[in-house]
Structure 1
Amino acid sequence: MFYANIRCKIITRNKVGRRFKSVITTDYKLSSKILPKETSVFSLVQPSGTMHLGNYLGALSCWGDLCRIKQHETQDLLFGLADLHAITVPQPQGKEFMKQKYDTLAYLIAFGVDPAKCKLYMQSDVREHAELAWYLSTITNISSLSRMTQWKAKSAGEKNKATDFSNSSSSLGLFSYPVLQAADVLIFKSEYVPVGEDQVQHLELTREIAEKFNKQFNCDVFKIPKVLLTPTKKIYNLKNSEKKMSKSDPRPGAVLYLSESNEDIRKKIKKATTDSITDKAFRFDPKERPGISNFINILAGIEKKSINEVEVDLENLRSHSDFKQYVGDKLIDWIEEPREKYLELSSNPDYLIQVALEGKIHAQKKAQETLRQVREVMGFSNF
């Protein structure tokens, strides 16, 4: 059982020194006190189909944890699949893309996101997202979007990408991605948004857009959301500890998928890049021992323990083979039950469709009311 609490309200900074407001960190000792009796929590994930360990531990494990600590019906948990965001880069088409989305939904439910405690939906099923994104785009500065580090990373290789768009091959959707993300959050008047650390900058922009809209139209339509930063740090791939775990990595041993067989899990861990240090205990040291530290971070995530607690568990291990055997045992023990549940769910599309439909109805009702208020203060009719 995962218990969490809010340890503190912190201020953090991005790479260019801007201050982030109201970033709340959580640890692995979460209690039900994290959620006020009446509140709204919202987050989306891109539907990548086959989900890997980095996807799950980066942010999604927190969704299941929040479901488990929910105590009141007035605590509205809304999670979903960001399929509108997904198409900013090439995706499968037609039925194949639809299957990919429902496959992701099956993973979410199997690994702890309980439809009895939250609502799950497809972003594209609620068209108010796109309409609000257009309204918000009219008050969002291009300069703010060009500073987004994810935009810079995804458009890497293009000269003068941040300021000169005349020769850019990137899509407008990829550039304006954070505006749609702001619309996603604000249309539900979300108070808490659980995300991984790579999304903090986008959520700070969301806060700025909400404040600007409320001020410009002399209203209080939008709540100013807080970032609920998940405790697990970035998960790196098993072949290169400087790169984030990603399904786009062409090396078959670089990524651990949640549907992997026990045999494949052991094989990938055994061949993973660690280091050649033999005269020191297995400690968390990202600078000197990034491969070992990545596995320690993974263990902390799946066992809901602090880094220090994991280090204590590793004290009696004396060799890299023992260490990898230990990691493999823990992963297999953790993954077996939800993996079987995923296989059951993925073969039951009618159930998944029903979950998404119930989520759509709930999300659409909330979104329509917010959009009605937005249109009213902006001077548009609500016929």
Structure 2
Amino acid sequence: MQENSKHKPRVFSGVQPTGNLHLGNYLGAITRFVALQDEHECLYCVVDLHAITVFQDPDELTHNTREVTAAFIAAGIDPTRQIIFNQSQVSGHAELAWILNCVARLGWLNRMTQFKEKAGKDRENASAGLYVYPNLMAADILLYHATHVPVGEDQKQHLELARDIAQKSNNDFAKTIARADYPGGFFPLPEPLIAGPATRVMSFRDGTKKMSKSDPSDLSRINLTDDADAIAKKIKKAKTDPEPLPSEVEGLEARAEADNLIGIYAALQGTQKDVVLRQYGGAPFSKFKEALAELATEKLTPIGDEMRRLLADPVEIDRILADGASRAHAIADPILAKTKDIVGFIRS
């Protein structure tokens, strides 16, 4: 019998507080978080432990943690119905991560492509935390016996690793798990919630690269705190090709910038690319960009306004995070205690 069998399906997901939340974060993650809360029991975590796998200025980390929290709430996540908290306030994440470090195999971690990408050529200078980052992600999920995890393409491999770690833990400790009356295994194998359209939002300056806060050009992205003028300016200056918009989806992928802008419009409108192309196919990009700017402004400026209002009261944001952490503890602590029993730790 699994810990969460009497509940709705339980979702865990997190966003790193590394600054400059942008349209890619919103469409790729936050809008999906809002949609999931009606059908699932959700824990939405500001994963500050993950953030420090590369150095973070302490003052900026504090601000960015509050900014992600404000974005969650401004976008429509209800902190009274769902749990919003920052990872470092629940020590079970780090405790379970150490146990899972001792279950996961080096060969598994060596196959993680994201470490290779983030560490670059100078891997010897990368932090140990960056290397074992996927084990902490597994701990985030398994600490709550989460059944589902929203994932994009860049996180699918990490979720597969979390499933491998869960399965190996169930096998390694099968004797004490059975004794604890968990015949089906203690850790559930989390299932992916596959993303919908436009979850991989690309740069406005290069349609082959993901939209990123680290891009030196601010014109490459729409920040969630951008005002209407900034949004319109960035869309107007977004790179395109000289051809008019096609009337069909077929062949659109070969035109990276066009595909990106059409995908963004579809996601903001809650529709499909082919529907957008039936409306704007054959039109010049200038006309389509005007429509996209109007739609993006309509959808995003209220979120930016609400984020600024929330950030003006950091005490209230900290209260929400503390309340969320208390509720997260209520789920995590019994699971961590049973994990320690299964491993063989003596506890008071």
Q: Specify if TM > 0.5.
A: yes
How far has the Cα of 1:55 moved from its partner? 1.0
Cross-structure match for 2:263:
297
Cross-structure match for 1:198:
154
Alignment match of 1:314 (pick from 264, 273, 280):
280
> Is 1:134 aligned to 2:104, yes or no?
no
Residue identity matched to 2:127 = S
> Is 1:57 aligned to 2:14, yes or no?
no
How far has the Cα of 1:96 moved from its partner? 3.2
Which structure carries more helix by proportion?
Answer: 2
Does the CA-based 8 Å contact 2:239-2:257 persist in structure 1? Answer: yes
Residue identity matched to 2:271 = K
1:191-211 deviation line (CA, Å, top 9, x unaligned): 011122211110000001001
Q: Structure 2 CA distance, aligned partners of 1:208 and 1:252? A: 39
Residue identity matched to 1:221 = F
Count of residues in correspondence between the two structures:
334
Q: Structure 1 CA distance, aligned partners of 2:131 and 2:245? A: 48
Does the CA-based 8 Å contact 1:284-1:293 persist in structure 2? Answer: no
| Partner secondary structure for residue 365 of structure 1 | helix
1:2-45 deviation line (CA, Å, top 9, x unaligned): xxxxxxxxxxxxxxxxxxxxxxxxxxxxxxxxxx9632111111
| Partner secondary structure for residue 45 of structure 2 | strand
Does the CA-based 8 Å contact 1:221-1:373 persist in structure 2? Answer: no
Q: Which runs of 4+ in 1 moved over 3 A?
A: 278-287
Residue identity matched to 2:95 = E
Cross-structure match for 1:216:
172
Which structure 2 residues correspond to residues 128-277 of structure 1 after superposition, within 5 A? 128-158=92-122, 168-218=124-174, 219=177, 220-232=185-197, 233-277=199-243
Residue identity matched to 2:241 = D
How far has the Cα of 1:180 moved from its partner? 0.3
How far has the Cα of 1:282 moved from its partner? 7.5
Does the CA-based 8 Å contact 1:78-1:120 persist in structure 2? Answer: yes
**Identity percentage of aligned residues:** 35
Residue identity matched to 2:20 = T
1:167-223 deviation line (CA, Å, top 9, x unaligned): x11111001000000000000000011122211110000001001001110122211
How far has the Cα of 1:283 moved from its partner? 4.7
How far has the Cα of 1:382 moved from its partner? 2.0
Which structure carries more strand by proportion?
Answer: 1
1:82-101 deviation line (CA, Å, top 9, x unaligned): 000000112111x3321211
Structure 2 CA distance for partners of 1:284 and 1:360, relative to 1, 3 Å: farther
Does the CA-based 8 Å contact 2:43-2:82 persist in structure 1? Answer: yes
Does the CA-based 8 Å contact 1:282-1:292 persist in structure 2? Answer: no
Does the CA-based 8 Å contact 1:126-1:364 persist in structure 2? Answer: yes
Q: Structure 2 CA distance, aligned partners of 1:365 and 1:313? A: 50
How far has the Cα of 1:370 moved from its partner? 0.9
Q: Structure 2 CA distance, aligned partners of 1:99 and 1:380? A: 38
Give me the TM-score of the superposition, normalised by structure 2: 0.91
Q: Structure 2 CA distance, aligned partners of 1:246 and 1:352? A: 25
Cross-structure match for 2:55:
90
Cross-structure match for 2:81:
117
Cross-structure match for 2:70:
106
Residue identity matched to 1:119 = I
| Partner secondary structure for residue 21 of structure 2 | coil
Cross-structure match for 1:40:
10
Give me the TM-score of the superposition, normalised by structure 1: 0.83
Cross-structure match for 2:181:
none
1:229-272 deviation line (CA, Å, top 9, x unaligned): 12133111000111110010001211111111111111111111
Cross-structure match for 1:364:
329
How far has the Cα of 1:286 moved from its partner? 4.8
1:90-119 deviation line (CA, Å, top 9, x unaligned): 2111x3321211011101110122213211
Q: Structure 2 CA distance, aligned partners of 1:338 and 1:113? A: 12
